[in-house]
Amino acid sequence: MKAVILVNPYLNTEAERYQPRRIAEELSALGVSVCVVPNRWTAHTERDGVAEALSGAYDFCVYLDKDKYIPRVLERQGMRLFDRASAVEICDDKILTHIALAGAVPMPRTYFSPLCYKADARADGAEEAGRALGYPVVVKECLGSLGQQVYLAEDEGGLAALSERLKLLPHLYQEFIAESAGRDLRAVCVGGEVVACMERRSEGDFRSNLAAGGRGIAREATDEVRALCRTVCERLSLDYCGVDLLFGKDRLLVCEVNSNAFFGGIESATGVNVARAYCEHMVRVMRQ
Ligand SMILES: Nc1ncnc2c1ncn2[C@@H]1O[C@H](COP(=O)(O)OP(=O)(O)O)[C@@H](O)[C@H]1O
Ligand SMILES: [Mg+2]
């Protein structure tokens, strides 16, 4: 079997290069020949041509990028992607994720900001969300990661300023889960099952992302964690993902889902070989 690993062309840190390197090593150990290719196709027609060439040359694609357009083109050419294009798309956008999971798993109460297309308009909708949710309010841009596009509005003034700043970008307002301030759970799932779980803790910030200074501590995945993750993976057709869970008063809440979660941090915290688990899953699926 032959696999292509597509990576974002702007990768430059060691942490970013770790993921494709480990996947390539583990796939090779399973007898798959592997090529790592930067996802660098500019014109659409050219993309389709490249996609055709790629799908002719490889049996499957490990998609480690976040670009949600190229997966559509690749699937149109018959390529099996890990993760699938629809899963990449839904996870890329926090509002789409919320809509897809609504009613299936508990999540913090959430309001979507109305989309604004006029730079000179006054931001609308935040005041109502603030009244309904109570302060502080968590504000998230729909496209974002590593905690960098997640904010906390302490009061009405702070929320108004944030919503004005973000009005031209899709974003949401969310209930602040106080019990979870500075801590959450990250569960990495392969084929719908949790393979590694850690608590992330941050001092001095409500966001516990490792990239923002959070620390990972290995945790057993409880039945509650496993059941929530199974539902998430099934709903979104995910082969691989990292699910963020918040500690609510009396139950866990799904915070967000990452189709291409970095696994270096959770491997260090838990000692689990996530790369191997993912590669074994891909080979099993492709041999079915
Ligand atoms: N509603 C919330 N209440 C409390 N903390 C939150 C809430 N939403 C997010 N957080 C914290 O912020 C972090 C980043 O938010 P998340 O939605 O996962 O965005 P990102 O894609 O940037 O990781 C979470 O890991 C969690 O620690
Ligand atoms: Mg997150």
Q: How far is CA 242 from the centre of its chain?
A: 6
Q: What's the gap in Å between 244 CA and the centre of ligand 2?
A: 6
Q: What's the gap in Å between 180 CA and the centre of ligand 2?
A: 13
- Ligand positioned closest to the Cα atom of 91: 1
Q: Cα–Cα distance between 185 and 200 in angstroms, integer? A: 6
Does residue 270's CB lie within 6 angstroms of at least one atom of ligand 1?
A: no
- For ligand 1, atom 10: residue with the closest CA: 207
Give bridge partners of residue 3 from the DSSP assignment: 34, 60
Q: Cα–Cα distance between 23 and 279 in angstroms, integer? A: 7
pLDDT digits (tens, 9 = 90+) for 66-114: 899 999 999 999 999 999 999 999 999 999 999 999 999 999 999 999 8
Judge whether 184 and 246 are in contact, CB under 8 Å: yes
* Mean pLDDT for all residues in the chain: 94
Which of 201, 246, 257 most suits a substitution to test ligand 1, by most atoms within 8 Å of the C-beta? 246
Q: What's the gap in Å between 247 CA and the centre of ligand 1?
A: 11
- How high is the pLDDT of residue 53? 81
Percent residues over pLDDT 90 in the chain: 82
- How high is the pLDDT of residue 93? 96
> What pLDDT band is residue 248 in, cutting at 50, 70 and 90?
very high
Q: Which residue has the higher pLDDT, 73 or 194?
A: 194
- How high is the pLDDT of residue 40? 82
Does residue 207's CB lie within 6 angstroms of at least one atom of ligand 1?
A: yes
Query: Domains along the chain?
Result: 2-90 (3.40.50.20), 110-176 (3.30.1490.20), 179-287 (3.30.470.20)
Q: Cα–Cα distance between 36 and 245 in angstroms, integer? A: 32
- How high is the pLDDT of residue 15? 79
DSSP string for residues in the chain: -EEEEEE-TT--SHHHHHHHHHHHHHHHHTT-EEEEEE----SHHHHHHHHHHHHHH-SEEEE----SSHHHHHHHTT-EEES-HHHHHHHH-HHHHHHHHTTTS----EEEPPP---TTSPP-SHHHHHHHH-SSEEEEESS--TTTTEEEE-SHHHHHHHHHHHTTS-EEEEE--GGGTTEEEEEEEETTEEEEEEEEE-SS-S---GGGT-EEEE-PPPHHHHHHHHHHHHHHT-SEEEEEEEE-SSSEEEEEEETT---HHHHHHH---HHHHHHHHHHHHHH-
Q: What's the gap in Å between 98 CA and the centre of ligand 2?
A: 13
Is cis: bond before 114, omega within 30 of 0? Answer: no
Q: What's the gap in Å between 256 CA and the centre of ligand 2?
A: 6
Does residue 97's CB lie within 6 angstroms of at least one atom of ligand 1?
A: no
- How high is the pLDDT of residue 21? 97
CA–CA distances in Å: residue 213 to residues 34, 200, 209, 216, 241: 34, 10, 7, 10, 21
Q: What's the gap in Å between 106 CA and the centre of ligand 1?
A: 15
Residues near ligand 2 ion, CB 5 Å cutoff: 244, 256
Which of 207, 232, 241, 245 most suits a substitution to test ligand 1, by most atoms within 8 Å of the C-beta? 207
- Ligand positioned closest to the Cα atom of 146: 1
Q: What value does the CA radius of gyration of the chain take, rounded to a whole number of Å?
A: 20
pTM for the full model?
0.96
Judge whether 275 and 22 are in contact, CB under 8 Å: yes
Q: Which residue has the higher pLDDT, 15 or 29?
A: 29
